[in-house]
Amino acid sequence: MSTEFNPEVVKQQIIDFMTGFTIETTPGSALKTPDYRVHLRPGTEIAVTFLPGSDFADTVSTSKRLKDEGFIPLPHFAARSIRSHNNFEEYLKTLQGEVGIEHAVALGGAVDKPLGEFESSMQLMETGLFDKYGIKSIGVAGHPEGSPDINEAGLREAIAWKNAFKEQTDAYMYIATQFCFEAEPIIAWDKKIQAEGNKLPIHLGVPGLATLKTLMNHAKACGIGSSMRVLTRQAKNIAKLMTVNAPDKLVMDLARYHAEDPNCGIKKVHMYPLGGMKKSAAWSYAVTDGDFTVDPKGKGFKVNRDIG
């Protein structure tokens, strides 16, 4: 990134980087959300997370509701929670029949022991069913800070496999990542996997507005690595644990990298509303609308509107 810091230039970089952000929800959150249109604008892409022990019928009903409210659902397919090839096909057939989807996210899933014949998202893709049922984009997992379940060699092999598979499908493929808290290790990871041959665009996870305590609990549960040091430094001040944190410094640093490095592989922001949809969505729209002020010393930015 360039050393010169121009707040107005950086502000536009941030707007460009956040525009078109995606966000996610769960069927459980959907039950507590009377109308997503209160928080999100029409046409927003919303991932529907599949949690261990969930019923896929809930994914279908949540996806249908999102579509009916004017959004684009991105249902998750968690390989280790799918019992068989026939079940997988039935899920896709039902989603197409009841909802009509074009997008999917294929993940291994946070289950220690597979419930059936699938152990990885790669096995789901090998069935050819995503193409058969007209899926036009597939998100696949990337792990900027490693994975507690897969070693470095395994992660490297998975990225290579997914790049090779891209040549066998008509779908747009991208890497969807877990959320992170600091730009530096993420930028290093992007450059590393590019050097190893990655050409898939990255949709990078960004944590939404939440208290420091909530962020730390989510980070520990998800195995977040070196970027968590930003939180642990703040947590030394106990009084800050219940302070709501915004990802402004992270977004600013990534936006500058996105704008200034022509080889940047990060193409989109995916918001994780860890502290609730209302605050994260309001903050994100304040940013895309340009309703924020950049710190002249480059320490981040503050939105100007009340986000509740």
Q: Would you say residue 238 has pLDDT above 60?
A: no
Which of 140-149, 157-166, 280-289, 296-305 has the least mean pLDDT?
A: 140-149
State the number of CA atoms in the 13 A half-sphere of 191 facing the CB: 10
pLDDT digits (tens, 9 = 90+) for 59-102: 999 999 999 999 999 999 999 999 999 999 999 999 999 999 99
- Contact (CB, 8 A) for 269 and 21: yes
298: its two tokens: 């480059």
CA distances from 22 to 97, 123, 228 (A): 24, 26, 22
73: its two tokens: 């659902």
CA distances from 173 to 140, 164, 165, 201 (A): 7, 11, 9, 8
This prediction's pTM: 0.90
Confidence of residue 263 (pLDDT cuts 50, 70, 90): very high
Tokens 């036009």 belong to which residue?
136
Q: What is the DSSP letter of 70?
A: T
b vs e for 151-190, b when ≥16 Cβ sit within 10 Å of the residue's Cβ? eeeebbebbebbbebbeeeebebbbbbbbbbbbebbbebb
Q: How many CB atoms lie within 10 A of CB 293?
A: 11
Select from 180, 145, 142, 186 the least CA-distant residue to 163.
142
Q: What is the mean pLDDT of residues 44-50?
A: 97
The residue type of 212 is L
- How far apart CA 205 and CA 97 sit, in angstroms, is 30
Per-range mean pLDDT, top range of 52-56, 94-98, 178-182 = 94-98
Q: Which residues does 47 contact at the CB level (< 8 Å), separation at least 6? A: 22, 23, 24, 25, 73, 74, 75, 76, 105, 139, 176, 270
Q: Is the pLDDT higher at 252 or at 150?
A: 252
Confidence of residue 239 (pLDDT cuts 50, 70, 90): very low
Select from 145, 119, 160 the least CA-distant residue to 223.
145
Find residue 22's DSSP bridge partners: 270
Q: Is the pLDDT higher at 149 or at 226?
A: 149
